[in-house]
Structure 1
Amino acid sequence: MAQKRALPFILPARLDERARLKQLRRYKIKPSNIAKIYEADGWILYIPTKKSFFKLPKEMIPGRELEHRIKRIHDYIEEYRSLIDLERRAEMDAQRNEIRTLSGREREVYGRAILGLKGRGEGMKFDLFIVRFSRDKVIDTEIGSGDIVLISRGEPLKSDLTATVMSVAKNYIEAAFSQKPPAWVRSEGIRVDLYVNDITFKRMESNLEKMRHIKAPYSDVRDIVLGLKSASKSATTEIEAFNGDLNETQLEAVSSALGGSETVLIHGPPGTGKTTTVTEVIVQAVKRGQRVLASADSNVAVDNMLRKLSKVEGLNLVRIGHPARVGEGLERYALFTLMENDPANAEIRELVEEVREHIEARNVHSKPTPARLRGMSRERIRTLAASGRSYRGVDTATIRSMARWIAEDEKVQRLFERIRALEEATVRRIVTRADVVLSTNGMVGSEALEGIYFDLAVIDEASQQMEPSTLLPMLRAPRAVLAGDHRQLPPTVLSGLDILRDSLFERLMQAGGIVSTMLGVQYRMNGTIMDFPNTLMYDGLLEADPSVAGRILKLERVPSDPFQRSLIEPEKAVTFIDTPSVDADERLRPRSTSYENEFEAGLVTSAVKSLVECGVKEGDIGIITPYLSQVKLIREMLEREDLQCEVRSVDGFQGREKEVVIISFVRSNLAREIGFVKDSRRLNVAMTRAKSKLIMIGNRTTLEPNTPFDRLFEWLEKEVGASLLKAPAS
């Protein structure tokens, strides 16, 4: 026995509470002797109070390394559980507060509500009830496929009816309901509001708890994330590429990803073919007999991977997720579709029909309601019915009728259990036979993938995800490949917690010691458009592929107005319009913290008109601005001119591209304050959406004193492929 010392001690976590208390009593340890308890990696670690002394056997005293390990895992889990809860509350509060404080019309202009709709039933699809909400007025909204929406008769705070958006078109939005919606959804005056999806937060919390005692080899990834283990180096792997168009850095990234390291990073700057590279990693892994989980935070990114993989012959692909969130044309890969086509579904349909028959038979009898039961159990009802006796005022006929109801109900419940068992077995068979399972991070935590593990997890958009979200797929395989670009926008966080804005991808990149490859050739932008972001964010390491380096805007004619002609001149791939300080002041809308600039919005509108008149398609023009009030104002101005161009915030345009991009910076004030507009990552994302022509509009006097705009104007003055114009007076 060791001498009396108040040392931390451990007990196996497999012991139940009674067994642990018995052990503590054995060594005369009281609850008051314990200052703190940690639990992780199969152990419970007890930290005694400073004044506690008791004798313990040596095997109960952990070494320093084990003690540190248990504390690190436990503290990480508890910290992120708390952070996730704060973020969930912040998201829900933000939605409720906005619904409460803004009028429906204001919320619609911001793109988070659609008013004046009329519902019409569109039948059923994948056991979901589909309703089309339409109106004559064009729908211009931030709400998109896969979003959770709140359906109301104009007062959303009084409704709890939610649905999932299936599609959004010019004059209608289709939504899917898991249960038959009330009749009023098919009336006029329906309002649809963007809402919060609480399920993903719950799955992140559940996954954190699972990582507490996760076993090898899956614990290796966890330990690397927590700094408890160093990642092994990747061996050089020879590959015969499926895609023969991959460049040198893409092939290097694929080789590294297959080289055996537990964690590999692929850094993909704008336009460098990150998803193409990720697709090759997946194909190569499958060729080597590995089962792959491919995920991302958004449905759009998952569908992008699925589209590329669907072109590869011989791959067994399964897309997990709500049918409404699966991209158009990809439904055949959806788990719901595969289940419908599975041979077992015939038996399930027969059982469902039996359930209907027994429910009909059950409903002709008296249901054992509390008023009829009078304290009787089901067994008591059966006994009384068999003996033909009444009970406490309940006559014999009613008791016999309740007994028949119970008999039919028990048949229904047994059938339901059989259906559930068949469905679970079918899902498991389909998923475990797949070469590649594709899912959003949130759906990795769904019942469909419960207890299912893979050889490799490939995670796209990793730099745009909160760390607990990335861990959902990452902990399902002994090896993980994360693809992203930490030089673009970080995760969207409403709680203001900086720790959640730091993605795991960025944290691992900065920590070092992880195998990483930067993709070095971009296939999107004209070389001039690429040049400044390349210098600002990528140390000049990016190259424009020859196929795009000299890309210029194609016009059918040129404007007669000299200013407009200079503005859209194809040979100048980048144009900055400097607005006059007096006429172009920013302003705040009433009850808003979002800025707008009417002068700049007018310039945007006139630029769009000129481009369209010269033959540029409206769908090839994208308008980006940092502030939602400016998004609203520009949309209103374009609508008055009958122009249909995509107008979004910087966040809304990440991952997108357009032939022509117009940026309105909005800020114009004597104090030269520009708020979050000075964020280099926002500027990087905004500038790198353009393929052939980039037009920027802003007040140089306000912007230039702020980094990185000082560097931008220095570059504009020197670059021969760019032009600086003075805006004409209003």
Structure 2
Amino acid sequence: MDMNRQNKYIDSLIFPLKQELKFLEREEDVLNFYRAKVMKKEESTHGDIITFIIVQAFDHNKNPILRKFDFERIFKEDESIKVLFDLKKTPSFCFQTKILSVNEKRYTFLTIIESLPREFYLRLDGSIFTTYKTLQRLKKIRKDGKYLDVNILNAINSVEETTREDYQQSDHNETENFSSSSLKYSEDFVDIFKNLKLEDKNLISKEEEYKDFIKKIKKLGFLIEYNKLNNSQKESLLFSKKNKSYRIIGPPGSGKTKVVVEIVKTLLYAKKSVLVCGPSNISVDNILSSIIDSEYYKKIKPKLYKLGSFLKTSKTLSCYHIESMANESVLPLLEKLNQAIDNKSDQKTIKALRKKVSEKKKEFIMSTIRCTDLAFATLFSSYKMKDNKYFDWIIIDEACQARESESFLSVLLAKKFILVGDPYQLGPTVKSETVELKSTFFDRICSTPTFFLNEQYRMSKLLISFSNSYFYSNRIISSKKTKFKFFNRSEILFIDTSNHNSKESKLNSSIKNTFEAEITIKIIKYLESKQNIYDVGIITPYSQQAFLIKDILPKVSFPIQVSTVDAFQGQEKGIIILNFVRANKQQEIGFLSDLKRTNVALTRCIHGLIIVANSATFLQDEFYIKLFGHLHANAYCINPAIFDIILFKAK
């Protein structure tokens, strides 16, 4: 790839990010602070709902901005914000939340903080801040004009370029209703899988060059658990010996984390340096936790660290955070500093000690990054290492949830990469509905060698059957058996609310369905009466439905988690209760037209799945016609009236 094509590719990443920030008057407004005034405080079951107005803007240096702002253009419903108590104090007490509603220049958010001052400060946070920083990093690479690593460019080079004109034709609808292009995007990926070229099964392990390698791994016994992997997992591990970048597709319950952990251990055994990344702290912490709990770590004790937000790292893993390690390294200096403060020493002495602590911590962090062969970081945090370490391998978990630009910046930190994910689960979270923003680096490098983990251990064959057929071309093998059945009929219970009193109602930008929520509560009470032993997840596409169910949920003896589908991705529960919510004569289904969202919802259960939905609302959609047809053939299907009769007889 010549420099011209390299720049065109980087431009293709820059342009959609600019589109994401186009609601701002200037891109740098992301960094501004805003002074707000509390107008009203209302108690709710989830905390206090704060109504406020914004009265002044400050730049990133905390200087007042004199130009006028259209604050409603900046702060929208569901926007992530950081709330600060004081702009002058550093650090100031702060917390993160989201804008609940916007109405005539009045805004609301939810908080459990009781001592919120009358006036406070806020700034944009979350994905918007990440977008801005990612954009600046890409612009710098473009400006520097250095040739990128040939291995990365080769992976990208095989993909046909998209022109800027193509981006400008994209639909930028910012409501919950997906455009037809978004639906086409989902359908295209289903079609792509049918023609996906995977590496030949059992071919790699038969090659002569791997025989000695396999023998060495097997001799390590429990340190690298090669013999505990199934064939598809073994193949995806062994390919790392080829020293080529590749992808691993892992459907729900297929043991992606287990494979990644064994690959990491194998690469370390081969004296390779490894950076493990993911789009969120949860994805990274899951792998870090599994590594630490392994016999390999307990016996070999490889040096490792985690980089990124200390506050977002789980408490059990905080000691592995590089910031925590740096604090430990300067304890004697910190004690001196604290003594100086307690003794009310002169400010010059205190300032000098603070500077020394800061310098020593920085030295420790830089030295640790350079000398340690195993590192963990979110994609956003990983880029901070660009000037201090170049790894042999980078492994990106949940790569299909990460924006293409973020993954691209991270793979620049290593010679080779392994991307692990499921392209049929939910993709990156973006504000705009531009299709290009939903694209991932995993999608971009589709000609890269690809492995498919074809055995799943989460649920029975019936529970995975629809997703297996529609999304995965029946490639998934399910060996798990279950005796669990609802009313001794099926592992799937479908309560169809069509022709009953099921109506949706809109609240702010979200939707709720009181009838479905009431049925859900009846289900919970029934499970309690039958001494249910499984944990339960109640999931719904809409946040207002989740709020409604939480408000009326009774206390029971078994664990329950209520969540949106998006927030529940990557999790599992014994029994899942799914509310579809949509019920209208216009047959509008909103962002349930994103097939990936429904695939996530259908694949979270271990033992049983209960679907509460108004099928009549979905009869214009080919996908849902097939889904409800599948349910009528395989689930125990009843209406709310019959369900009430069953509950009455069960008393």
TM-score, scaled relative to structure 2? 0.72
Deviation at 1:472, TM superposition (A): 3.2
Query: Compared with structure 1, are the counterparts of its residues 717 and 296 closer, same or farther at alpha carbon in structure 2 (3 Å cutoff)?
Result: same
The aligned residue for residue 303 of structure 2 is 316
Q: Tell me if 1:421 matches 2:359.
A: yes
Alignment-derived partner of residue 482 in structure 2:
550
Q: Could you tell me how far apart the structure 2 residues matched to 1:586 and 1:102 are?
A: 31
Q: Distance in 1 between matches of 2:388 and 2:292?
A: 26
Q: Say if 1:88 and 1:201, in contact at 8 Å, map to a contact too.
A: no
- Whether 2:445 is the aligned partner of 1:527: answer no
- Alpha carbon RMSD of aligned pairs, Å? 4.1
Report the equivalent of 2:602. 687
334, 338, 346: which one pairs with 1:349? 334
Measured in 2, the distance between the counterparts of 1:714 and 1:291 equals 50
Which of 379, 388, 409 is residue 441 of structure 1 equivalent to?
Answer: 379
Bigger radius of gyration = 1
- Residues 183-215 of structure 1 show CA distances to partners (whole Å, capped at 9, x for unaligned) of xx7579999999623653344234324543576
Q: After the TM superposition, which residues 101-140 of structure 1 pair with which residues of structure 2 at under 5 Å, given as runs? A: 114=48
Flag the 1:355–1:482 CA change in 2: closer, same or farther, 3 A.
Answer: farther
What letter is aligned with 1:711?
K
- Structure 1, 273-282 or 79-88: larger mean CA deviation: 79-88
Aligned 8 A contact 1:704 1:713 in 2: no
Q: Which residue number corresponds to residue 83 of structure 2?
A: 150
Q: Provide the C-alpha distance between the structure 2 equivalents of 1:340 and 1:220, rounded to a whole number of angstroms.
A: 38
The equivalent of 1:246 in structure 2 is 229
* Deviation readout 1:58-80 (Å, 9 max, x if unpaired): xxxxxxx7463354245335425
Contact 1:293 1:473 in 2 (8 A): no
Q: Assess, with a 3 A threshold, how the Cα gap between structure 1 residues 520 and 340 changes in structure 2: closer, same or farther.
A: same
Once the two structures are TM-superposed, the CA of residue 173 in structure 1 deviates from its matched residue by: 9.5
Q: Deviations over 1:278-314 (max 9, x none)?
A: 1111111111111111011111111100111112322
Of the three residues 607, 612, 621, the one matched with 1:706 is 621
1:506-543 deviations in Å (ceiling 9; x for gaps)? 2323xxx2111111011111221111111011000111
Name the residue aligned to 2:15. 79
Deviations, residues 482-501 of structure 1 (Å, cap 9, x unaligned)? 11111011111112222111
Q: In the aligned structure 2, how far is the partner of 1:292 from the partner of 1:114?
A: 45
After superposition, where does 1:273-292 map in structure 2 within 5 Å?
A: 273-292=255-274
The residue that corresponds to 1:596 in the other structure is 512
Q: Indicate whether 1:572 and 2:510 are aligned.
A: no
Cα distance in 2, alignment partners of residues 662 and 604 from structure 1: 7
Task: Name the structure, 1 or 2, with higher relative contact order (CA <8 Å, separation 6+).
Answer: 2
Q: Distance in 1 between matches of 2:397 and 2:15?
A: 25
Q: SS of 1:324's equivalent? A: coil
Deviations 1:231-251 (A, max 9, x none): xx9986544261232111111
Question: Could you tell me which residue of structure 1 aligns to residue 424 of structure 2?
Answer: 487
1:328 maps to 2:312: no
CA–CA separation in structure 2 for the residues paired with 1:103 and 1:498: 39
Instruction: Pick one of 436, 440, 464 that aligns with 1:499.
Output: 436
CA contact (8 A) 1:81 1:208 kept: no
Read off the aligned partner of 1:335 and give its amino acid letter. I
The SS at the match of 1:663 is strand
**Residue 205 in 1 paired to residue 135 in 2?**
yes
Aligned mate of 1:478, from 394, 397, 415:
415
Is the contact made by 1:672 and 1:702 (CA closer than 8 Å) also made in structure 2? yes
1:518 corresponds to: 452
State the partner residue of 1:162: 94
Provide the rounded CA distance (Å) in 2 between the counterparts of 1:429 and 1:621.
Answer: 46
Alignment partner, residue 464 of structure 1: 401
Cα separation, 2, equivalents of 1:684 and 1:271: 13
- How much identity, in percent, do the aligned residues show? 24
1:551 is displaced (CA, Å) by 5.4
Secondary structure of 1:470's match? Answer: helix
TM-score, length basis structure 1: 0.65
Partner in structure 2 of residue 224 of structure 1: 155
Map Cα deviations across residues 606-634 of structure 1 (whole Å, 9 max, x no partner): 001111221225x7111111122211222
Deviates more, 1:579-588 or 1:295-304: 579-588
**For 1:266, which of 244, 248, 257 is the aligned residue?**
248
Q: Structure 1, residues 7-32: CA drift from partner, whole Å, max 9, x if none?
A: xxxxxxxxxxxxxxxxxxxxxxxxxx
Q: Which residue of 2 aligns with 1:608?
A: 524
Is residue 586 of structure 2 the alignment partner of residue 652 of structure 1? no
Structure 1 pair 354–726 and aligned structure 2 pair: CA distance change class (3 A): closer
Please state if 1:697 is matched with 2:630: no
Check whether the contact 1:253–1:266 (CA below 8 A) recurs between aligned residues.
yes
Q: Distance in 2 between matches of 1:87 and 1:569?
A: 52
Take 1:196 and 1:306, find their aligned partners in 2: how far apart are those partners? 26
Amino acid at match of 1:651: D
Counterparts of 1:637 and 1:173, CA distance in 2: 20
**1:393 match:** none
Distance 1:228 1:358 in 2: 65
Q: CA deviation at 1:100?
A: 11
Q: In 1, distance between residues paired with 2:475 and 2:39?
A: 46
Letter in 2 for 1:304: N
Q: 1:577 to 1:433 in 2, by over 3 A?
A: same
Q: Look up the match of 1:387.
A: none
How far is the alpha carbon of 1:449 from its aligned partner? 6.1
Closer, same or farther in 2 for the Cα pair 1:706/1:338, shift >3 Å?
same
Match of 1:673 among 581, 588, 594: 588
- Give the aligned residue type for 2:379: N
Native 8 Å contact 1:432 1:452 kept in 2: yes
Give 3-state SS (helix, strand or coil) of 1:307's partner: helix
Task: Check conservation: 1:80, 1:468, Cα contact below 8 A.
Answer: no
Query: Aligned equivalents of 2:359 and 2:407: distance in 1?
Result: 31
CA distance in 1, matches of 2:22, 2:325: 38
Output the CA distance in 2 between the equivalents of 1:479 and 1:174. Answer: 45
Report SS of the residue matched to 2:268: helix
Q: Give the superposition deviation at 1:148.
A: 7.0
Change (3 A) 1:86 1:453: farther
Q: What is the distance in 2 between the residues matched to 1:267 and 1:315?
A: 28
Q: 1:587 aligns with which of 505, 521, 526?
A: 505
CA shift, 1:675, in A, is 2.2
Cα deviation 1:394-448 (Å, max 9, x = unaligned): xxxxxxxxxxxxxx4xx776655544432222112222332311011111133x6
Instruction: State the aligned residue count.
Output: 533
Specify whether residues 657 and 649 from structure 1 end up closer, same or farther in structure 2 by C-alpha distance, changes over 3 A only.
same
State how far apart, in whole Å, the 2-side matches of 1:274 and 1:173 are: 36
Shift of residue 319, structure 1, vs aligned partner: 1.3
Q: 1:493 is paired with a residue of what secondary structure?
A: coil
Structure 2 gaps of 5+ residues are 51-79, 87-91, 98-109, 162-198, 219-223, 645-651
Give the letter for the 2:620 counterpart: P
Q: Provide the C-alpha distance between the structure 2 equivalents of 1:471 and 1:202, rounded to a whole number of angstroms.
A: 16
Cα 1:641/1:269, change in 2 over 3 Å: closer
Aligned partners of 1:204, 1:715: CA distance in 2, in Å? 43
